[in-house]
Chains A and B, each alone.
Chain A
Amino acid sequence: MQKIRSFLQFLFTLACIALLVWAFTLARQWGQGEAVPSLFSFRLGGKKGIAPTPAQLRSIERIGKWEFLSIEDEEIVDTVRHRLLLPDQHLVRIYRGTLSLGIDLSQAQQEWVRMQSDTVVVTLPPVTLLNPQFIDEACTRTFHETGTWDAQAREQMYQKARRVMMDRCLSEENLRMAQETGKAHIKTVFRNLGFENVVVE
């Protein structure tokens, strides 16, 4: 009995010393301006970020595309699945893309820039959409989602968004605006290069 009592007293003394050491450590941390951790904490959770996997560089290309008009567009696309006796399921996504209108210099004539006496004559190729794949899917926002949706549904929504944005943005007015902007900018660039007389066709 005496031995048990001594052992318990020993354990109690040990626990007190451990608590004092811990309290001293906390006080020092608090004195140094560090956050004081709680005595006990518990969390059940998982990882938030993606794993660090390498990116494969598929190609590096030299291009010559001069953009004169940039159109940022957003499109909300939704799809619904009707079910008998159960609530409908919805997926609503907001797609974002930037259409780039301008000229592709690879489509230009051999001598698209030439001197005629003291005049620089520039013949521009027609204005086109420089980036047919203009949707930045990483910027897509999910507005509302119920149920699970397969690859086909998402692919259809993407194509729908792309089609609608192209129909809206590739209007005659925008193409004309891109052409006029292009002529004005090219003229300015050549004038700044020191050529007084510039004609842009």
Chain B
Amino acid sequence: MARYAYYPGCTLKSSASEYEASVKAVFNKLGHELEEIDSWICCGASPAHQSDAGLSSDLAAYNILAAADSGLNILAPCAACFNRLKAGAHKLKNDDVFRKRAETEFKHAAADVEILSPVGVLNSPDNLDAIKAVVADHHSELKLVAYYGCLLVRPPKIMQFDDPEDPVLIDKVLGAAGFTLLPWEYKTECCGGSLAISNRESALRLTAKVLNTARKAGAEAIVVACPLCHQNLDARQSQVNAAFNEKFAIPIYYFTELLAFAMGFEPTAVGIDKHVVESVKVLRRGA
């Protein structure tokens, strides 16, 4: 039984609420506790570091120090938040001037808080065993590809997470839960998440390439671990279809939604019915 300081980030409370619902379902089922950090604020995502590097670091430092009281490590499901918090933690550890200023400013000593992603945590030997036990004989014929995106794994110096060119952790944990993951070459190619609103043309072009390559690989659905990837691939799939004269109808699942399903949760209990692209029937069909 493990406890984590839970950092949801902005989208998990709104446009990515399914991700929160499924993360909580899976972690609770495995007997772990998530304690939401009371006074968390936005990590700044891309707009902060793209216009003011200092602001981005300060936001991360604030959140890390806000969690330090709990004595727990931070669990951040959103790939962007995970990336920003890790960058902040890296700076707190290696930049003495920055750390002293943050400690004075936020009146808290910087503890050794680790920043974790559910993608990593659920792959621990204990959790994999527990998942296998809970899912028992679950097996799905649905052909999936795991799309990792950018921020979970890059830059490798900061993220030190899985392999930056050919990651495997999502494949591994879903394989343990009885899902069929196909190999493919587009695991970490950018979908244009940070460009979705500011430069939609570019984002749609990049997202279309992900959908197209998944289809080429024989996938019936794509698995993600990032709210921005999900929004581009799912909520903007109709925009992609319109822009490129396509008829994609590819469900996009958060990896924790699939785990929750394998563990016996109803799709509606973890928000799979809230996807824009129909995702419930497809999931049931493969089971």
Determine if chain A interacts with chain B. no
- What is the interface of chain A, defined by CB distance below 8 A to chain B? none
